[in-house]
Amino acid sequence: MDQAINLNKKLATFEQHWSPRTVTTFNGHDVMVVKVLGEFNWHSHPDTDDFFLVLKGSIDIELRDRTVSLGPGEIYVVPRGVEHRPVAREEAHLLLIEPTGTPNTGDKATAAKRQVI
């Protein structure tokens, strides 16, 4: 990487929801941006934590026993193996960091295809 990455410009290159785009990698991890709206499916990641940073808007991370609400500039990490469901009542933009190849649904068969922008 030889120059700064502008996340707003990267987010402006696509419209799809729940389809993360990799903007860079480091130490075997993808750094991704994603637009979200509505409810995602319940899922877990048995081998990794799930990192969420809200860039714009707000989301709820529903867990089976509680809900964690996040606004701009707030981070939440879902521990590995914990079932969760992100929900955005209005479009929100997020930064995600996870090991390269981690399926966003927790299941490779139903995961969004990784795209690099």
pLDDT in tens, the chain (117 residues): 679 999 999 999 999 999 999 999 999 999 999 999 999 999 998 889 999 999 999 999 999 999 999 999 999 999 999 999 999 999 999 999 988 877 665 566 666 676 777
Q: What CA–CA distance (Å, rounded) separates 114 from 24? A: 12
Kindly state whether residue 97 falls inside one of the protein's structural domains: yes
Domain with residue 93: its CATH number is 2.60.120.10
Domain of residue 104, residue span: 7-116
> Would you say the pTM of this structure is higher than 0.85?
yes
Kindly state whether residue 35 falls inside one of the protein's structural domains: yes
Chain-centre distance of CA 6, in angstroms? 17
* CB-based burial label for 63 (10 Å; 0-12, 13-18, 19+): middle
- The secondary structure element, H or E, covering residue 53 is strand 50-56
Kindly state whether residue 54 falls inside one of the protein's structural domains: yes
Question: Which residue is it, tokens 């637009």?
Answer: 35
